[in-house]
A and B are shown apart, each in its own frame.
Chain A
Amino acid sequence: MNTDADHPRLSAHFRMQWEEAQQAWVLLYPEGMVKLNASAAEILKRCDGSRDVPALVAELERTFEATGLEAEVRAFLDMARQQRWVADT
């Protein structure tokens, strides 16, 4: 489950890359692709297993000079775990 001890990271079988032709970040996996919107991409870029969720939220809020992002980040991570894009370490 989504606890503060979790350090989300991109699952090994997914690859994230910038696609010039689509002007978007995409997630690639066996025979498939997901086009990411800008906020999904910013969250996933930071899912490298090095930070827990509060640290991830804090970094996003600092970078984008925003507040109150936690609910959105947690909702996205829940979905991303369900899709198995993200695992926790």
Chain B
Amino acid sequence: MTATDRPGPPLWLLAELTYRCPLHCAFCYNPVDFARTRAEDELDTEGWLRVLNEARALGSVQCGFSGGEPLVRDDLEILVAEAHRLGYYTNLLTSGVGLTEDRAEALKAAGLDHIQLSFQDTTKELNDFLSHTRTFDLKQQVAGRIKRNGWPMVMNCVIHRLNIDHIGQIIDMAVELGAEYLELANSQYYAWAKLNRDQLLPSREQLERAERITNEYRAKLGDKIRIFFVVPDYYENRPKKCMNGWGNVFLTVTPDGTALPCHTAKMLPGLSFPNVREMGVGEIWYDSEGFNRYRGDGWMSDTCKACPEKEKDLGGCRCQAFMLAGDPAATDPVCDKSPQHQVVLDAVARAQLPGAGTAAPLLFRDPKASRRLAP
């Protein structure tokens, strides 16, 4: 880092209000040890109001309220109102559980700009969804509420081995519910999804079929709905430009007030991340060791430093490098130039075998499992 490399503002503020959640998704990206953050450890209303003010003063403009399930917090309306007053574009990322008529009205009055509604997708829920029972009814009610309040609706469905073959039904459902955008986001293998990777990673055949069907729907539906299909990076040979660059535009604040360059960065060893209770957001963003560590290219491996494409992907994801290569500064093993690329190829090869993903049961994200795995 030199003075001229001073990063721009944290345009995107992700406020992870709580890890509490009524769902138990096997692909959840909340940390495996999330249960260590108890309700009483969460940043209080005043704390969040301060974060919103400080980040906005720096230039944050997109604000996502996420979790866990952010509707679990009964001060959500207060926080949305303040974010709106400050000039943020406010996004609520929710499962829809808890979005009652009253709360929808209160959030509308508070100035909420947009709701991203996710499909919950444990196997039980998947069954519910496919049999058009409980989940479908809930989503239908919530989607109706979203539309009646005039919000644009993004539906997000995490795609994986167990639901990817139903991609057509998923698109049909999004259209039926009136979504303007549909994100078919293949699971990314972090946290709980990493523990369940063999069960969740689709086969190449499944993936190709899903992409083909998605394209057929796009052609058929035209402007009616915008469909984004995010490929799992394990099937790419270059890594993603994770978070559009470390400490470049994204600032995540976790439920206990820890500030991170992305929602999974806390896993990285040898790095300390500041807490908004102890440090102002400006100092955190521009001066803290945690945010500066992987800015620029001085930290890069020789593989990345010498690569003509380094500006394109910035060496990929630091968390993935740590998880798969044991070194957060390594080239992301998704890259076929990575010395550890074989690890990814092995996982992909396993996904092609008959009976793949059935060797072990899915591990669901819940506080009990969290305490067992991370006592």
Contact = CB atoms under 8 A, between A and B. Distances in A.
Interface stretch (A20-28, A37-45, A50-58, A60-68): A20-28
Contacts of B9: 21-22
A19 B60 CA distance: 9
Interface string B222-252: 0100000000000000000000000000000
Nearest to B89: A28
B45 interface: no
B123 to A, nearest CB: 28
A32 B62 contact: yes
B59 A22 contact: yes
Contacts of A20: 59
B64 interface: yes
B252 to A, nearest CB: 14
Given A30-B181, A33-B89, A19 B113 contact: no
Given A28-B62, A33-B62, A17 B87 contact: yes
Contacts of B8: 22
B8 to A, nearest CB: 8
B59 A31 contact: no
Given A15-B89, A17-B87, A21-B9, A31 B58 contact: no
A15 B113 contact: yes
Contact of A26 (B61, B114, B154, B180): B61
B59 A30 contact: no
A30 B181 CA distance: 9
Interface string B209-223: 000000000000001
A19 B91 contact: no
A33 B11 contact: yes
A1 to B, nearest CB: 14
Contacts of A21: 9, 58-59, 61
Contact of B154 (A15, A17, A19, A31): A31
Contacts of B114: 13, 29-31
Interface in B28-60: 58-59
A25 to B, nearest CB: 12
B320 interface: no
A81 B284 CA distance: 40
B182 to A, nearest CB: 12
Interface string B154-167: 10000000000000
- Kindly state the interface size class of chain A when it binds its partner: 10 to 19
A84 B113 CA distance: 17
B187 interface: no
Contact of B116 (A13, A22, A31, A84): A31
B152 interface: yes
Contact of B91 (A12, A26, A31): A31
A28 B114 CA distance: 11
A13 B152 contact: yes
Interface string B48-85: 00000000001101101000000000000000000000
Interface string B1-25: 0000000110100000000000000
Contact of A30 (B11, B58, B154, B223): B154
A32 B11 CA distance: 10
A86 to B, nearest CB: 14
A32 B113 CA distance: 12
A17 B88 CA distance: 10
Contacts of A15: 89, 113
Complex A-B, nearest 5 residue pairs according to Cβ-Cβ distance, in ascending order: A21-B59, A28-B89, A30-B114, A13-B152, A21-B9
Interface of A: 12-13, 15, 17, 19-22, 26, 28-33, 84
Given A22-B59, A28-B89, A30-B113, 9 more contacts: A13-B114, A21-B9, A28-B61, A28-B113, A29-B89, A30-B116, A30-B180, A31-B62, A31-B114
25 contacts: A13-B114, A13-B180, A15-B89, A17-B87, A19-B61, A21-B58, A21-B59, A22-B8, A22-B9, A22-B59, A26-B61, A28-B89, A28-B113, A29-B152, A30-B91, A30-B113, A30-B116, A30-B152, A30-B154, A31-B62, A31-B91, A31-B154, A33-B61, A33-B89, A84-B223
Interface of B: 8-9, 11, 58-59, 61-62, 64, 87, 89, 91, 113-114, 116, 150, 152, 154, 180-181, 223
